[in-house]
Structure 1
Amino acid sequence: MTRPPGREPIARAATRALAADIINGVYPADARLPVEPDLAIQLGVGRSTVREAVKMLVSKGMLAVGPKRGTVVRPAQDWHHLDPELLDLRLSQDQARDAFIGHLAEIRLMFEPFAAEMASIRRCDADVTRIYRALADMREADPASVQAIDADIAFHKAIVAATQNPLLIHLAITLEAALRHAFNTSTHLPAAYVANIALHQQIADAVARQDPGKASAACRALIDRAAKDQASLSHP
C-alpha cells in the first residue's frame, strides 16, 4: 500500500497514493477495495479524505461504487486516460510510463502524418504564417522552459488546423494534455529538442511547398525520434 507524502494537500496525496496502487496492480481490475475504515488506516488519513479520494477516482473512471459491491476497481480500458491528472499519475509510475510512451507514439502515427499530408494540400497563407511563427517561437525558447513546450504544441496545432478538418482539430485538442506530457521530455534532453527543430522545419517547409509525401515522411521521422528520446529517459 502506497502511503501519501506529506508535501501536498492530504486529499490529493491520498488520491495519488490510491491511484498508484491501482495502476501498479495492488488492486487489479474488479478487485474490491477495503472498507472505508480500513482504507483510512492503510492510507493514514481520515475517513472523509478517503471518501474524497474515492470520489475523485470514480470521476476518472478508475473506480465504481455500488450499494452491494462496495468500491470496485474498473478495467483499465474504462479509465479516462487523457485526463491530465491521470496522465500525471501514470507517468509517475515507471511501468505505466513505458506503456504510455508506446501507446502515444502509435496514436500519433495514426493521425499526425495524415494530418501533415492534408495540411500540405489544404493550407492557406495564414496557416503557413502560423506554422512558421510557432517554429520561430520554438527556436527562440529555452529548451528547458514551459515556453518551449507551448511553442511545440502550437506548431502541431497549427499543422492540424491547416487540414480544415474539424474532427482532426478536435482530436488534436483531446490529445493535447498527452502531447504536453510527452513534449516535456525535451526539457530533460535539450540536445534532442534542438535536433528535433530540424524535423519541424522539414514539416513546415513541405506544408508550405504543398508536398504531402515529404510532409508525412518528416512527421513520421519526428514521432519515431520522439519515442526513442522518451525511451532513453526511461532506460538510460
Structure 2
Amino acid sequence: MIRDKFPDTGRFPRPVRSLHAEVVEEIARWLIVGDFTEGDVLPNEQEVGQALGVSRTVVREAVRTLVAKGMLQVRRRTGTVVLSEDEWNIFDTEVLAWRFRYGVSNDFLEELFKFRAGTETIAAELCATNPDFDVAELRDCCDAMERALDGQGDWFEADLRFHRLLLTGAGNRFLAHIVPMLENLFDALLSPDVLIEENMRRTLPRHRAVVDAIASGNTTQVREAMLLLVSEAREDTLRRIGDAGGAE
C-alpha cells in the first residue's frame, strides 16, 4: 500500500496559506522529524501525491521549493534525495519556523544563540567606537518598546529596529549584510508565547543597559550588557521550547 511508505499525517492540521504551502510544509515536516533522513530517496511524485491527496504537479512544485531551500536535491536516475541539515538554508524564514514548530534540538539552539551573541556583541562594540553612530536612535527604540507595553505600538517592530541599528551602525559592510538573516531569525524566535508582558518588561532594562554602555564608549561594559541581553533571550526561548516539549 502506497501510504505505508509515509509517516502519518493529519491531512495538514494547520490552517496554512495555500495547497502548495501545505504540501511544502508537510514534506519539510517529514524531513525535520526524521521520517526521511539524509541520503533517503523520497517516493516518486505520484506516490507522494496519492499519499497527500494532491496532484503530481503540486508535488513537483513543492519539491522545487524545498530544493531551493537546500533540503532536497533531484538527481537523474536516482530521484529526490534528502540532503544533510548542514546544507539547509537555516536562515530561510520558513526553514527556521519549521524547525521551531516541529522540533529543534538543544544543540541547534545553542549554536544559534552563540552566533547571535558573537555577531551582536561585535556590532555593539563597533557602534560604541563609531563617532558617526547616533545612540539617540537606539533610545527611541527603547522608548517605543516601553510604549508598546502600554498598548501603544508594536514591540516586535521596535525590538527588531533596535537590533537592525546595531548591525548597520557598526560601520561594517559584512555585519550589515546579515540584517536580512537577523530579521528571519527574529521572526522565528519572537513568537507570541515569548512576547509576553513578563518577558518584555524584564528585557527592556537590558536593552537600555546596552544603549547606556554604547553611549559611554566603554566596550567592556558594552560586551557585558549585550551578552546579558542575549543570554536572557536564550533562556526565554529555551523555557518556551521546553514548555512546548519541542527541544530534544
Same fold (TM over 0.5): yes
Question: Do structure 1's residue 4 and structure 2's residue 7 form an aligned pair?
Answer: no
Q: TM-score, normalised by structure 2?
A: 0.87
Question: Do structure 1's residue 19 and structure 2's residue 19 form an aligned pair?
Answer: no
Unaligned runs of 5+ in 1: none
Partner residue, 1:35:
44
The 3 A distance-change label for structure 1 pair 11 and 46 is same
Matches within 5 A, 1:102-181: 102-124=110-132, 127-142=134-149, 147-181=154-188
Partner residue, 1:53:
62
Q: Is the CA contact 1:144–1:186 (under 8 Å) kept in the aligned structure 2?
A: no
Q: TM-score, normalised by structure 1?
A: 0.91
Once residues 82 and 146 of structure 1 are traced to their aligned partners in structure 2, the CA distance between those partners, rounded to angstroms, is 27
The 3 A distance-change label for structure 1 pair 143 and 26 is farther
> Displacement of 1:97 after TM fit?
6.2
Q: Deviations over 1:30-56 (max 9, x none)?
A: 100001111112222121111111111
Matches within 5 A, 1:58-137: 58-93=67-102, 95-96=103-104, 98-124=106-132, 127-137=134-144
Q: Deviations over 1:12-41 (max 9, x none)?
A: 111111100011111101100001111112
Unaligned runs of 5+ in 2: 1-6, 244-248
Q: Deviations over 1:128-179 (max 9, x none)?
A: 1211111111111148998211111111111222211111111233222112
Q: Is the CA contact 2:144–2:153 (under 8 Å) kept in the aligned structure 1?
A: no
Q: Which deviates the most, 109-118 or 138-147?
A: 138-147
Aligned pair count reads 234
> Displacement of 1:59 after TM fit?
1.0
Once residues 115 and 24 of structure 1 are traced to their aligned partners in structure 2, the CA distance between those partners, rounded to angstroms, is 35
> Structure 2 residue aligned with 1:206, among 201, 213, 220?
213
Matched to 1:67, the amino acid is R
